[in-house]
Amino acid sequence: MSTQESVRRQAGSVEESEALRIEEEKARQLIDALNTDLAASYVLYHQLKKHHWNVEGAEFLQLHEYLGEVAEDVEYAADAFAERAQAIGGVPLSGGSTYEEHAPVEHEGHDVLDIRTSLANDMEMMATMIETMRDHVALAAELGDYTTEEILRDELETLEEHAHHLEHYLEDDTLVLESATN
């Protein structure tokens, strides 16, 4: 193991890509947007995993599996954002507190909440992320970075689909009967 430490790239720095030819100022704006979406994705990911681990009740298995799938999709999106930020000359954010500082969303906390509240919190976080990502899609289009625009559009579409499904889970109509003790 090497005992010599050398910083190859400083966090927050932007290196111009000779191959992709995105101007430094444009790259900086795009990297900031991608890092915001990266941060939000990891905050959502951890909240989804919390709910995946703690869900109980009649719909346990279906919700447990679904929340696991959603978390996988969100983690995939985070990776896509980080890879693109790096490709256009940036340093992707890393670390829990860094994500929380840069995310436009806030984790609900450590307590285990009832599943309706948990899903409502997930849907609200997704809604905020959807608004932010739409702004970032427009920014990428305005700056002429069609690849970043396409990555953002793809992940936005997936996030919107999951938010829509959560909205259905939260509807009043259900086959599950309330217990006689209520």
pLDDT tens readout for residues 47-76: 999 999 999 988 899 999 999 999 999 999
Distances (CA, A) of 87 to 12, 38, 91, 92, 140: 14, 14, 9, 10, 15
Per the domain annotation, does 84 fall within a domain?
yes
The CATH number of the domain where 41 resides is what? 1.20.1260.10
Query: What is d(CA 9, CA 11) in angstroms, rounded to the nearest whole number?
Result: 7
133-160 as b/e: b if 16+ CB within 10 A? beebbebbeebebeebbebbbebbeebb
For the entire predicted model, the pTM comes to 0.90
Domain that holds residue 119: 24-169
Is residue 18 domain-resident?
A: no
Reply yes or no on whether the pLDDT at 101 is more than 60.
yes
For residue 16, being part of any structural domain is answered with no
- 15 in any annotated domain: no
Is the Cβ–Cβ distance between 52 and 68 less than 8 Å?
yes
Residue 66 falls inside a structural domain: yes
What is the Cα–Cα distance from 118 to 131, expressed in whole angstroms?
20
- What percent of the chain stands above pLDDT 70? 95
What value does the mean pLDDT take over residues 83-112? 95
pLDDT tens column, 14-27? 887 777 889 999 99
What's the total number of domains in the chain? 1
Q: What percent of the chain has pLDDT over 90?
A: 79
In one letter, which amino acid is 107?
Answer: H
The C-alpha atoms of residue 102 and residue 71 are separated, in whole angstroms, by: 20
Asked whether residue 8 is assigned to any structural domain, the reply reads no
Position 10 in a domain: no
* C-alpha to C-alpha distance for 148 and 68, rounded to whole angstroms: 26
Encoded tokens for 90? 């940036």
Instruction: Flag whether 122 is in a domain.
Output: yes
